[in-house]
């Protein structure tokens, strides 16, 4: 079938001017400011997003605050029924949601499908809230006839400030747990990719969440600042760059809020001499070039231990990366989709030029890739790029590029590899490729990163585990997902009970 025929209708897709969803209703923003949303694969306009103001944030917060009083009294087993209904609706519109993610972000359709499915996973885990939220108790825990118990309670209004790279998935790290625990919520999608959340909130409305429980406010920095400083917002979840994550953390904490702020990354993949390179290479390709490198768990540097591991890694990696195709993510032939914007494309090009200037060897140049999809001349593409002979002091070895650029460096032993990881300001993820159990255990024990992979290039936690991270990759105490989410969205209350019986203090009769 002619691919251009298949894709032409997608070029013309336009979602109009988006709206906010507040108190169970769609409301056009009163702001005079707006932003054009482009399809990164074509450069064509596909929507207009309003850049709402602080007053509209206050309107959403007040709606969420009103809803909280009644929502927290709904039994947990009833609250989670809305998650089940939403899961069914998402499964019915699964392809639509995935295609929207590809249109607004640029990633391939398979990658978009995977991100939608990860969102569904969180609904399934959060639906276990009647068990997850349980407390504990101890008879006579504080003395004879004095019982002690711990109960969990929701706190109120929470908010998520979402990134551009996973517009559908990341908000699911947070809000299902928050609302299942009895809180109310506000989602602020990235202004670069707001369409998917718009469609999702249509389904949230269909799922029957009471008015005010779930709210959506489009905008930019003004909305973020309003959420961080609003006295009624009890906690904020953020995913984005380290620079902004630090600001979100400091500002939220200053205003007395709970905060979890996921920052940037520079993830290392250590290749030991006994690594099964022919089996691992596909894993490296996915880690380093999947989602066009625009993910915080993307592998950035292959750290090869010894000459032989380095030579085999370079040959196998280059051979696997060279045939990868570049184009529109809705084209099923495409391996690597577009990056998010022209500015991102230019920033990645600058890093490639810095690598050359600092003496790295460019063995695969992705600056002018062949685009296999017709009609994408205006898109924002960078092809798979590989540098060899990279040293730890180079800019491309230190800074997050957030694009399909991979580095290869060589070290003499595992000690040196671990030292490189330790010296990085980031601590999001690190992986090792080996068949030796002792080496793997040592790496797991010593590698200074929050998400560790053993023969796994993208060590992404499943929904029932926390999404870890440390150093400049995470600011806060409790991570998203899993048990951490339950602790973040509830407060522990300890109750000490002593009852008087027949005029006597408990425990005094005999």
Which residue from 84, 80, 86, 28 is spatially nearest to 203, judged by alpha carbons? Answer: 86
Taking the C-alpha atoms of residue 282 and residue 267, their distance in angstroms, rounded to an integer, is 17
Q: Which of 131, 132, 125, 133 is nearest to 155 (CA)?
A: 133
The helix or strand, by DSSP H or E, that contains position 76, with its residue range, turns out to be helix 76-92
Rg, the chain, Cα only: 25
Contacts of 73 (CB under 8 A, 6+ apart): none
Q: For residues 185 and 178, is the Cβ–Cβ distance under 8 A?
A: yes
Residue 484's φ and ψ, nearest 5 degrees, are -60, -40
Rounded to an integer, what distance in angstroms lies between the CA atom of residue 425 and that of residue 268?
Answer: 12
Q: How many Cα atoms sit within 13 Å of 455 on the Cβ side?
A: 14
The phi, psi pair for 452, rounded to 5°, reads -110, 135
Contact 486, 152 (CB under 8 A): yes
**Residue 198 pairs with which residues in a beta bridge?**
none
How many angstroms separate the CA atoms of 327 and 108, rounded?
Answer: 9
Q: Is 296 among the catalytic positions?
A: yes
Is 316 exposed, middle or buried (CB count within 10 Å of its CB: 0-12, 13-18, 19+)?
A: middle
The Cα–Cα gap between 302 and 304 comes to: 6
Q: 24: exposed, middle or buried (C-beta count within 10 Å: 0-12, 13-18, 19+)?
A: middle
Q: Pairing state of beta strands 299-305 and 405-411? A: parallel
Burial-class residue 255 by CB neighbours within 10 Å (0-12, 13-18, 19+).
middle
Q: Collapsing DSSP states into helix, strand and coil, what is residue 412? A: coil
d(CA 476, CA 253): 9
State how far the Cα of 37 lies from the Cα of 34, in Å rounded to an integer.
10
- The sign of the torsion formed by the CA atoms of 8, 10, 11, 17 equals positive
Closest among 292, 313, 394, 295 to 353, alpha carbons compared:
394
Report the distance separating Cα 147 and Cα 58, nearest Å.
Answer: 42
Pick the catalytic residue: 160, 291, 296, 376?
296
Residue located via tokens 């051979």? 319
- Phi first, then psi: what are they for 167, rounded to 5°? -65, -25
Residues labelled catalytic: 296
């Amino acid at each position: 079938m002619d691919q251009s025929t298949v894709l032409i209708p997608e070029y013309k897709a336009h979602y109009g001017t988006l709206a906010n969803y507040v108190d169970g209703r769609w409301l056009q923003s009163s702001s005079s400011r707006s932003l054009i949303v482009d399809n990164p694969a074509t450069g064509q306009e596909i929507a207009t997003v309003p850049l709402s103001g602080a007053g509209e944030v206050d309107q959403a917060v007040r709606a969420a605050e009103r809803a909280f009083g009644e929502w927290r009294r709904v039994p947990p087993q009833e609250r989670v029924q809305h998650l089940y209904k939403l899961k069914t609706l998402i499964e019915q519109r699964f392809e639509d949601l995935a295609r929207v993610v590809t249109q607004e972000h640029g990633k391939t359709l398979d990658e978009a499908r995977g991100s939608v499915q990860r969102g569904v996973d969180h609904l399934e885990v959060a639906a276990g809230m009647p068990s997850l939220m349980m407390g504990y108790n101890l008879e006579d825990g504080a003395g004879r006839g004095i019982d002690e118990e711990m109960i969990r309670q929701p706190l109120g209004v929470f908010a998520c400030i979402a990134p551009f790279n996973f517009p559908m998935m990341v908000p699911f790290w947070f809000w299902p747990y928050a609302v299942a625990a009895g809180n109310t919520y506000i989602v602020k999608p990235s202004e670069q990719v707001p369409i998917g959340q718009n469609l999702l909130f249509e389904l949230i409305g269909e799922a029957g969440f009471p008015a005010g429980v779930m709210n959506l406010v489009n905008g930019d920095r003004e909305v973020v600042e309003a959420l961080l400083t609003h006295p009624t917002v009890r906690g904020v979840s953020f995913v984005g760059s380290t620079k902004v994550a630090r600001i979100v953390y400091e500002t939220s904490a200053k205003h007395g809020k709970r905060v979890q702020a996921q920052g940037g990354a520079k993830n290392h993949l250590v290749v030991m001499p006994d690594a099964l390179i022919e089996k691992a290479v596909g894993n490296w390709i996915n880690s380093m070039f999947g989602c066009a490198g625009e993910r915080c768990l993307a592998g950035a540097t292959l750290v090869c231990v010894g000459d032989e591991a380095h030579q085999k890694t370079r040959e196998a990696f280059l051979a696997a990366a060279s045939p990868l195709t570049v184009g529109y993510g809705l084209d099923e032939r495409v391996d690597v989709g577009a990056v998010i914007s022209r500015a991102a494309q230019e920033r990645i090009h600058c890093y490639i030029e810095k690598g050359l200037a600092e003496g790295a060897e460019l063995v695969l140049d992705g600056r002018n890739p062949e685009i296999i999809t017709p009609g994408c001349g205006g898109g924002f593409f960078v092809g798979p790029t590989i540098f060899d002979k990279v040293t730890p002091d180079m800019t491309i070895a230190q800074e997050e590029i957030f694009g399909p650029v991979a580095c290869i460096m060589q070290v003499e032993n595992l000690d040196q590899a671990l030292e490189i990881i330790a010296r990085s300001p980031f601590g999001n993820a690190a992986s090792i490729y080996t068949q030796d159990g002792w080496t793997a255990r040592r790496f797991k024990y010593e590698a200074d990163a929050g998400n560790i992979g053993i023969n796994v290039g993208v060590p992404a936690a499943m929904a029932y585990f926390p999404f870890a991270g440390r150093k400049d990759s995470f600011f806060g105490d409790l991570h998203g997902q899993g048990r951490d989410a339950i602790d973040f969205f509830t407060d522990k209350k300890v109750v000490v009970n002593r009852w008087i019986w027949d005029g006597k203090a408990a425990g005094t009769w005999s």
